[in-house]
Structures are given as C-alpha cells and as structure tokens.
C-alpha cells in the first residue's frame, strides 16, 4: 500500500534532496507562472493584479493556504491571478495574458535544462580545469536542476491542455467561438470539469513520461556530443 508521498520519497535514495527540490520548484514555478499572468495584464492595461495585492513574490498570496496544504499532502498545488479582461487593451489581450503563464514555465524549463546540461561537465573540470566539485553538492544540484526542468515542462504541457479552467481551455475559448459557447452554456461547466478530471487522472503519467524523456534525453544527448569523456 502506498504511504504518504513525503515519507515515501524522503526514505528513498536521495529522497531528502528530491523532497526539498520538488517543494521549492513547485512553489517557485507556480509563483512565477502567476506573476507572468499579472505582469502581462498590467502591461496591457489591467491594474487588477496591482489593486488586489497579487503583484508580490509571496507564494501565500498566489497559492493560498489550501493549495500549500494539498502540496504537503499530495505533492500537487495550484495558484491564481485576478485579471479583469474588460480592462485589457487589444483584440487578443486576454489570450496573451493567459499564455504568459505557460510561457514562463517554458522559459524556466529551458533555463534549468541548459544548466543541467553543463553542470556535471563544470563540476568535473571539463569546462574550467581548475574546478572540481565533489558530492554531495555535485549530485544534489544535478537532482535539483533535473527536478526544475522536469516540473516546468510538465506544468507547461498541463496548463496548455484545452480544458477549462486550465490556460489552454481559456485560450481555446478565446480563439474558437463554438467551444466558448459550449463552455458558457448551462451544462458547460460540468462538461469542462468532467474532461479536466479525465485529463488529470489519465493524462498525468503521459505528461510526466513525455517531459522526463525530453529533459533527460536532451541532457544526455548534448552531454554526449559536447563532453564525450563525461563520467555520468
């Protein structure tokens, strides 16, 4: 029988580093995801994120206590950024605000993937010969960077799923009128909620599998091409 995810992961090899990495990256990634929505909304004329006090680095404001409790209990969390679409300037302003969150996760994923590729070669002196970084720092930071890259690609893909209340669902509502009419119909919310649950239950493993294959496949490929003598 599966136990509490924190205790199970904590007792696994490198479990303490993995727990800390996961908690830090979930909080940082969701906070920056929501701030990206807010920054774009403010840029496009809506000061609701400012007036509501959400333009802050405080994760409690973006995630709230319930999200943080669920993070500790289940390892997952969510966030929110108040935006008033009626105050935005431009025909596609709401779509730009919505897509800013997943784009932030894409940027974080690419940055951490880049750092992951070059961390081990740097630690083993293949980039700067005078540098020689030993464990546990070498392996701990590798786990930290790998977790950050994996999580942010998962968050990007998950949020782009075309299902309300995810960002992808809102983007599709903005771009495809029949879908918008369906979601705004009397039973539209229940329909969207049902699809969301199906995606969440049956699609999570697929998203993690795709992201894992991409992150560590790309990392191994570039390390092999650029640093063939690397000990990994």
DSSP notation for 130-175: T--PPTTHHHHHHHHHHHHHHHHHHHHHHHTSS-TTSHHHHHHHHH
pLDDT higher than threshold 60 for residue 1: no
Q: What are phi and psi of 174, to 5 degrees?
A: -70, -30
Per-residue pLDDT at 73: 93
Question: What are the tokens at 3?
Answer: 């136990």
Nearest-angstrom CA–CA distance, 62 and 19: 21
Assess contact for 138 and 80: CB atoms under 8 A: no
Strand residue runs (E) in 26-150: none
More confident: 6 or 80: 80
pTM of the model: 0.93
Q: Is 34 a catalytic residue?
A: yes
Q: What is the pLDDT of residues 186-207, one digit of tens each?
A: 777 787 778 778 877 778 889 9
The mean pLDDT of the chain is: 92
For the chain, how far is it from start to end, CA to CA, in angstroms?
34
More confident: 196 or 208: 208
* Candidate list 22, 32, 34, 41, residue with the active-site label: 34
H or E element at residue 209: helix 188-226
Nearest-angstrom CA–CA distance, 54 and 60: 10
Q: What is the DSSP letter of 75?
A: S
Per-residue pLDDT at 159: 95
Nearest-angstrom CA–CA distance, 68 and 61: 11
Region of poorest pLDDT, from 34-43, 66-75, 108-117:
66-75
């Amino acid at each position: 029988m599966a136990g509490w995810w924190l205790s199970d992961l904590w007792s696994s090899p490198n479990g303490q580093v993995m727990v800390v990495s996961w908690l830090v990256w979930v909080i940082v990634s969701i906070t920056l995801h929501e701030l990206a929505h807010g920054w774009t909304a403010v840029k496009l004329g809506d000061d609701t994120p400012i007036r509501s006090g959400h333009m802050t680095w405080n994760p409690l404001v973006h995630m709230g206590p319930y999200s943080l409790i669920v993070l500790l209990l289940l390892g997952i969390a969510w966030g929110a950024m108040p935006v008033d679409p009626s105050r935005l300037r431009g025909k596609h302003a709401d779509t730009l605000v919505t897509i800013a969150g997943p784009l932030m996760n894409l940027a974080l994923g690419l940055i951490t993937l880049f750092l992951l590729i070059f961390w081990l070669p740097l630690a083993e002196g293949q980039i700067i010969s005078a540098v020689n970084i030993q464990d546990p720092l070498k392996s701990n930071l590798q786990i930290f960077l790998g977790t950050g890259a994996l999580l942010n690609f998962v968050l990007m893909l998950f949020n782009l799923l075309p299902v309300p209340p995810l960002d992808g669902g809102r983007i599709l509502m903005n771009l495809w009128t029949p879908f918008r009419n369906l979601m705004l119909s009397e039973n539209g919310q229940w329909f969207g909620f049902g699809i969301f649950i199906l995606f969440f239950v049956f699609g999570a493993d697929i998203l993690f599998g795709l992201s894992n294959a991409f992150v560590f496949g790309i990392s191994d490929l570039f390390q092999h091409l650029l640093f063939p003598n690397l000990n990994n």
